[in-house]
Amino acid sequence: MKTTITTAKTAVRDRSRHWHDAIASAYFPLQLQFRNPDSFSGELALWKLGDVSLSRLTSDSLQYRRLPHHLKSERDEHFLVTVPVRSEVYFSQCGKDVRCNPGGFFLERSHEPYEFSHAESADLWAMKVEAKALGGRIRAPDRFCSMQFNASEGAGGLFTDMLHLIPGRFDAMSPETRATVGQQLVDLLVLALKADERTLTTGNSTVREAHLTRIESFIRKNLGDCELDPETIARGCGISTRYLHELFRDTNQTLGSWIRDQRLEACREALRDPSNRQTVAEIAYRWGFGDQAQFSRAFKAQFGLPPKEFREQARLRQPVRA
């Protein structure tokens, strides 16, 4: 589904309220401050790609603020990935500031207050993705907020190239293709984050972060092995089992809970993929769950629904083809 919102046909006196509503609908509630409210002009195009939303926003000078009272009614956390096409964008969150120009991109958290502004007329892309979906691919993605990443080379360049291609091909995509493209955008984003050398240096220790990154990569490659255990992981990463557990004590999760969450996330993606013809049991075994009853309990605890019911609801949410 594509949606376009514009102030062009809105009475001048109603434009600021109209833009407030458009931003809240596309992203989440924010406080807006207009430089010239009586002549403000803006347009927002929004494309739904499964659980990912992509938007392109052009507008006059503006300041957006996410305030503490905005967070009270929010349940699910999201990340916004902002890619300026024209003009510098200023962003501040959790005591960190970034001035991002075309050729870069940065991440924003919905569950923390922030300030976002551009002094000149701006043109920018924004991708909204669930924190769970991003966290299922890279550990603690919030550590990358308010950091500028390369949007012109490597995986970051591919990510932004794909943004520009989607609008022209969107109408020809099936709902299944759109959902797949959304997941591919997230995959490219994660590749861009992992390719940045700061992935290994954000945290207390460069060595520890490097070990954790290698451990996470090994685990993801071997999630389908139901016999994956600390000894196998430690051996595969060239460290002792004791040191492996010590590394995870510095995070907010145990090794076992992190592996379980990665498996559950992989199963959730498979269950909501309409092209996946595997049974629930086959999906569970594919991603390392040896006991289907245990898997069903863990899945419901994590996502609020048993896996079969989750799959049925995901299918019902798929748009009907014309």
90-130 per-position pLDDT tens digit: 999 988 899 999 999 999 999 999 999 999 999 999 999 99
Cα separation, 223 vs 204, whole angstroms: 27
Cα separation, 269 vs 273, whole angstroms: 6
Torsion angle, alpha carbons of 190, 28, 25, 72, to 10: 140
> Is residue 322 over pLDDT 80?
no
Residue 154, phi-psi category: left (phi > 0), alpha (psi -120 to 50), beta (remainder): left
| 281: Cα separation from own chain's centroid | 28
Token duo for residue 89: 């964008």
Q: Could you read off the pLDDT of 224-246 as tens digits, one per residue?
A: 998 999 999 999 988 899 888 88
**When comparing pLDDT for 137 and 103, which is higher?**
103
Mean per-residue pLDDT of the chain: 88
Q: Could you read off the pLDDT of 231-285 as tens digits, one per residue?
A: 999 999 888 998 888 888 766 678 888 899 889 989 998 998 888 889 999 999 9
Does residue 217 sit in helix, strand or coil?
A: helix
pLDDT at 321: 46
Q: How open is the CA angle 242-248-250, to the nearest 5 degrees?
A: 115
Token duo for residue 315: 């299918």
Cβ-proximal residues to 108 (8 Å cutoff; 6+ apart), any chain: 79, 80, 81, 82, 91, 93, 114, 116, 145
Does residue 127 sit in helix, strand or coil?
A: strand
pLDDT at 200: 47
> Is residue 320 over pLDDT 60?
no
Average pLDDT over residues 73-79: 84
State the pLDDT confidence band at 27, using cuts at 50, 70 and 90: very high
